[in-house]
């Protein structure tokens, strides 16, 4: 069986078409299985609503909405859905492409392992390249989210653990379970019960205020914070209440690279504007944030080229 399975039960049949091989992910209302499609003979992922949620209408409606959104969005970085059905017991299942790889969190863990014991000179050289590569990954994530926004869909749960890096340098934005259509020009009203991960949640949602695409910009800004400084924006805080207190006031943990690398000023500014607590003063769109990053990377590459020519490299 697969070494990365969370659980290896005996093979079980799902209707006539699918053979479940083991659980590869668990969530609050659904599990994800690796399975064999007995008709196409391909290996797939099957996201299945928990049996105890069959009669839970809010959970069912959320699951149906997730399936519809994933089928509606057609982008290389959004996992394709092959099938969506209800079985004889009334349980719902989404059948999709099986993505093998690692999350952004796992990539960051690997970087910390690689940097242990490096000299300052070695780290400087390695991080210059690694940071560039991470920004390229981030731009792919932004492209997917910008596409979803064009289609009037908010993701609402953007964080490193929901970003998957595939085997062929492909990048996927995962888990559209609390994504929401936003067809109107008017902002949405945050519900009394908030969903999502608090340490990546926009302040306006924490405060039960109105929100829109700029709330996804904020979450992406915190993902960029992780990728640039190599620690989370609220790494020193222990409770959700502390995170809310800091985020609403525009405060974070220290904005310094974990290994002393000098982060370019343009990149610091990009992060600062993306995570501004007031959405009216925040970077207004994902597309604008992408343009800021591309422009900054191009400027850095130009400066590096001139420096190399000056010293004769």
- How many whole angstroms separate alpha carbon 280 and alpha carbon 126? 37
Task: Tell me the Ramachandran region of residue 46: left when phi exceeds 0, alpha when psi lies from -120 to 50, beta otherwise.
Answer: beta
Active site residue 157: yes
User: Tokens 């595939």, residue?
Assistant: 166
The CA–CA distances, whole Å, from 225 to 178, 215, 245, 270 equal 23, 15, 18, 10
- How many whole angstroms separate alpha carbon 259 and alpha carbon 115? 8
Helix and strand numbers (H, E) in the chain are 8, 13
Q: Which of 157, 175, 216, 226 is catalytic?
A: 157
The CA–CA distances, whole Å, from 197 to 9, 118, 159, 161, 242 equal 30, 33, 8, 11, 14
- Residues catalogued as catalytic: 157
């Amino acid at each position: 069986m697969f070494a990365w399975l969370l659980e290896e039960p005996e093979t079980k049949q799902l209707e006539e078409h699918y053979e479940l091989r083991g659980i590869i992910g668990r969530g609050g209302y659904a599990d994800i299985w690796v399975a064999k499609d007995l008709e196409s003979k391909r290996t797939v992922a099957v996201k299945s609503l928990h049996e105890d949620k069959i009669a839970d209408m809010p959970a069912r409606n959320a699951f149906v909405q997730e399936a519809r959104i994933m089928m509606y969005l057609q982008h290389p970085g959004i996992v394709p859905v092959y099938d969506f059905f209800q079985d004889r017991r009334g349980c719902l299942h989404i059948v999709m492409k099986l993505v093998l790889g690692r999350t952004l969190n796992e990539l960051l863990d690997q970087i910390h392992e690689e940097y242990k014991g490096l000299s300052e000179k070695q780290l400087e050289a390695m991080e210059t390249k690694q940071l560039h590569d991470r920004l390229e990954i981030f731009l792919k994530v932004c492209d997917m989210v910008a596409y979803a926004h064009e289609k009037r869909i908010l993701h609402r749960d953007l964080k490193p653990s929901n970003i998957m890096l595939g085997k062929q340098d492909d990048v996927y934005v995962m888990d559209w379970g609390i994504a929401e259509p936003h067809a109107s020009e008017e902002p949405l009203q945050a519900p009394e019960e908030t969903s999502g991960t608090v340490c990546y949640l926009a302040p306006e949602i924490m405060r039960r205020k109105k929100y829109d695409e700029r709330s996804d910009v904020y979450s992406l800004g915190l993902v960029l914070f992780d990728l640039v400084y190599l620690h989370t924006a609220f790494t020193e805080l222990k409770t959700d209440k502390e995170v809310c207190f800091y985020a609403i006031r525009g405060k974070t943990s220290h904005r310094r690279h974990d290994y002393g690398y000098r982060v370019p000023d343009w990149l610091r500014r990009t992060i600062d504007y993306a995570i501004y607590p007031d959405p009216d003063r925040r970077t207004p769109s994902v597309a604008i944030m992408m343009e800021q990053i591309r422009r900054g990377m191009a400027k850095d590459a130009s400066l590096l080229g001139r420096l190399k020519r000056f010293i004769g490299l």
